[in-house]
Amino acid sequence: MKKAKVVFYNRSLERALQILSAFSFEIQELALVELSNILNLSKSTVYRLASTLIKSDFLRYNEDSKKYSLGLKLFELGGVVAASFSLRKTASPYLDKLRAQLGKTVFLGIFQEDEVVYIDKREDLRNPIRFSSEIGRRRPPYFGMLGQLLMAFLPDEEVDRVLKNNPLKPITKKSITTKKEFKKRLREIRRLGFCVDKEEAIDGISGISSPIKNHSGNVIAALGVAFISSSEDSEGVSEKTNAVCETARRISSELGFFEKIEKNSNAIF
């Protein structure tokens, strides 16, 4: 007999979402009594939930008009969603080509709320190894090739803040666990313009990543490929590095960023 699936229901969360959904292009401001009538909830309930939403900047309250409106946090999150969709759409054909070219699993990730978020992936179906980093999966900020690459292009004070809130923890035997060594690694990544992860996130697996930049030259994402460490010699790694970096440059160009392309011959293996 199949076990019944347990569904957890949060009434307060549902009501808070109903408050946010009450606003639209046509109705951008609502008074407490109007929200109460629309949602068929008591004014005290709406007031309590609205106060929590205001504290988190999901709602604003105008003291003069005595009305609520949507807060800037939603604008910020909407921008993240829009950027992710635009980035994924632009990068998608390049991810397909890179997987076909290298025959390896390809990842696309961004840095959001001090975590690495995987927003796209192309699995190498010929490889018996499957990576658990699915689309939407979140990882610690320093995790693997994508996390280190994205952190390398943060301001130093931001790196300090992120590491203070997310202390380095060993993931494999080869993980960097001291702040001094990690910051040294970030400087090297920034100098080279790419990152090579040598089994620091998954035992037996290496990876190469390169930054994707927007029209302003800001790093907004990381493109990476993962492969079995023992399957590649230094020549193979160099070939993959060039392919990943070139693909990242082409995606950046599509997003409006242009730079003089110079071949990087630095060997790191």
Q: Is the dihedral of CA 260, 112, 195, 254 positive or negative?
A: negative
Q: In what order do the strands lie in the sheet with 105-112?
A: 138-139, 115-122, 105-112, 219-228, 205-213, 195-202
The answer to whether residue 40 scores a pLDDT higher than 80 is: yes
150-184 residue pLDDT tens: 999 999 999 999 999 999 999 999 999 999 999 99
List where CATH 3.30.450.40 sits in the chain. 79-254
List where CATH 1.10.10.10 sits in the chain. 11-70
Q: Confidence class of residue 135 from pLDDT cuts 50, 70 and 90?
A: confident
More confident residue, 24 or 211: 211
Number of H helices, E strands in the chain: 8, 9
User: Taking residues 176-199, what's their average pLDDT?
Assistant: 95
Q: Is the dihedral of CA 33, 39, 42, 44 positive or negative?
A: negative
- Whether residue 106 contacts residue 223, with contact meaning beta carbons closer than 8 Å, is answered with yes
Q: Confidence class of residue 260 from pLDDT cuts 50, 70 and 90?
A: low
The answer to whether residue 81 scores a pLDDT higher than 90 is: no
Residue 256, classed as helix, strand or coil, is: coil
Instruction: Note if the pTM is more than 0.75.
Output: no
Task: Name, in order, each residue with C-beta under 8 angstroms of 245's C-beta and a sequence gap of 6 or more.
Answer: 193, 194, 210, 264
156-165 and 179-192 are packed helices; what angle lies between their axes, rounded to 10 degrees?
Answer: 140
d(CA 147, CA 111): 8
- Whether residue 20 contacts residue 70, with contact meaning beta carbons closer than 8 Å, is answered with yes
Six-digit token pair at 11? 């009434």
Q: Confidence class of residue 43 from pLDDT cuts 50, 70 and 90?
A: very high
State residue 230's pLDDT score. 85
The answer to whether residue 268 scores a pLDDT higher than 80 is: no
Six-digit token pair at 117? 């978020």
Continuous segment of H or E residues that includes residue 33: helix 32-39
Give the architecture-level CATH label for domain 11-70: Orthogonal Bundle (1.10)
93-105 residue pLDDT tens: 999 999 999 989 9
Q: Which residue has the tokens 């639209």?
A: 24
CATH superfamily for domain 79-254: GAF domain (3.30.450.40)
More confident residue, 182 or 76: 182
